[in-house]
Amino acid sequence: MVYIHHCACVSPQPNLLTAQTETIQESVDNVLHVMEPKYDGIPLGVLRRMGKAVRMGVGTALPLIHKHDKPLQGIVIGTANGGMEDCIKFLNQVIEFEEGTLTPTNFVQSTTNAIASQLGMMSSNKGYNITHVNRGLSFENALLDVIMLLREHPTQAYLLGGVEEISNYNYNIDHLAGSYKKEIISNLHLYDSKTDGSIAGEGVAMFIADAEGVGAIAVVDAIKLLPADQVDEIVVQLQLFLATHLSEGEVIDVLLTGENGDERLNPFYGAVEEVLKGATVARYKHLTGEFATASALSLYIACQVLESQTLPSHLLKYPSAKKEIKKILLYNNHKGVQHSFILVSKI
């Protein structure tokens, strides 16, 4: 088990659990960009040289590192495209300047591990430092890594995170591949659309995790990563997952899905809902948009819901009576071929 003690995020919304639908920021041209804070913890001279992904990741994680009263033994980050914008800038400079005088900043920050390495240097953390890049399962692999580390070192604590930015390069590729809707649609009406594709998003969520429950806000009981493209296989694996990790009499109170308005993926989400008929069904990608590590933000939302016992009505797929929320199952589906289940419980 992994206990979450602190968490923070930067997202397209000022508050992911806002109860007022009128305060939800709307998408522009099917894109939801993050609302970045001032990043007071980063010196201005350093901040202005940072790419967006590095800026978001470092700015979100540093306050958590300083808040935790014990030193961290490692930094584990998941990202699919973090740093890609700086990579493209550097490659364009190679062409523009004919491999002459190039800007080193874009080169240094053009790799996906730039976020974890910057955090390690700025927090003087010389411990385990790794970045998982596994497309739609990048954050889940980072979480699985932390689970294994804590089984081996139960007295240690780690920083866990998921980071994604919208780069022009990846946006154009995904758009041509049909990942985003052809028609312009507001994120407020995302689930009413009956067409292929979703809207683009970005964001970052960071967590302080250890194996000690004292003072924790939530616990990750189990995780399942599943590459599959058949609905029946997802149903079988979900039933096995629940049978393995739920004790007799335990039920899932909330199913928080990554439903994103893509008509092609609805059969998967519908099948999972059918298995969990008694659970309250909630969704969140009208707030964040779709991106490879959106599941990091879903874990952030789950932690906040379990701590506050508040579930805003705009997150609900169906009207539901209020009840105590003890267990939340996160189900995310990336492009119909990468799936994950994460079971999160109240302390």
Q: Mark whether 199 and 296 lie in a shared domain.
A: no
pLDDT at 145: 98
d(CA 167, CA 171): 6
- Domain shared by 8 and 108, yes or no: yes
Give the end of a domain, one of 210, 242, 264: 210
Q: Residue 126 belongs to what domain range?
A: 2-210
8 lies in a domain? yes
Structural domain ending residue among the three candidates 160, 179, 210: 210
Mean pLDDT is lowest, of 50-59, 105-114, 151-160, 259-268, for: 105-114
CA 338 – CA 135 distance, rounded (Å): 9
C-alpha angle 218-296-286 in degrees, rounded to nearest 5 = 110
Same domain, yes or no, for 302 and 191? no
Provide the pLDDT for residue 107. Answer: 61
Q: Does any domain span residue 294?
A: yes
Q: Model's pTM, two decimal places?
A: 0.93
Give me the residue label for tokens 């979450």: 4
Residue 101 has pLDDT above 80, yes or no: no
Neighbour-count burial of 14, counting CB atoms closer than 10 A to its CB (0-12 exposed, 13-18 middle, 19+ buried): exposed
- Residue 340 located in a structural domain: yes
Question: Edge-to-edge, what's the strand order for the sheet holding 338-345?
Answer: 128-132, 74-78, 157-164, 203-210, 2-10, 218-227, 338-345, 327-334, 254-257, 280-283
Q: Which of 44-48, 98-102, 338-342 has the highest mean pLDDT?
A: 338-342
Q: Quick check: 23 pLDDT over 80?
A: yes
Q: Please indicate, yes or no, whether residues 187 and 333 belong to a single structural domain of this protein.
A: no
Are both 132 and 256 inside the same structural domain?
no
Residue 215 lies in a domain: no
Dist CA 22 CA 24 (whole Å)? 6
In this structure, is residue 75 part of a structural domain? Answer: yes
Question: What's the domain count of the chain?
Answer: 2
**Same domain, yes or no, for 96 and 244?**
no
Quick one: 191 and 59 in the same domain?
yes
Among the candidates 182, 210, 238, a domain finishes at 210
Examine the domain organization and report whether 80 and 46 are in the same domain: yes
pLDDT at residue 204, as a whole number: 97
In one-letter notation, the amino acid at residue 195 is: T
Tens-place pLDDT, residues 317-345: 998 877 899 999 999 999 999 999 999 99
Check whether residue 127 and residue 229 sit in a common domain: no
Residue range 119-132: mean pLDDT, rounded: 95
Domain match, 292 and 192 both: no
One domain for residues 70 and 154: yes
> Residue 226 has which token pair?
């599943």
Q: Are residues 272 and 130 in the same domain?
A: no
Q: What is the mean pLDDT of residues 179-190?
A: 96
Asked if residue 97 is part of any domain, the answer here is: yes
Per-residue confidence (pLDDT) for residue 94, from 0 to 100: 74
pLDDT at 320: 86
CATH of the domain at 55: 3.40.47.10
Q: What are phi and psi of 160, to 5 degrees?
A: -120, 135
Q: Are the CB atoms for 229 and 294 separated by under 8 Å?
A: no
**Position 111 pLDDT exceeds 90:** no
**Average pLDDT over every residue of 237-261:** 97
Q: Using an 8 Å Cβ cutoff, are 161 and 61 in contact?
A: yes
CA atoms within 13 A on the CB side of 21: 9
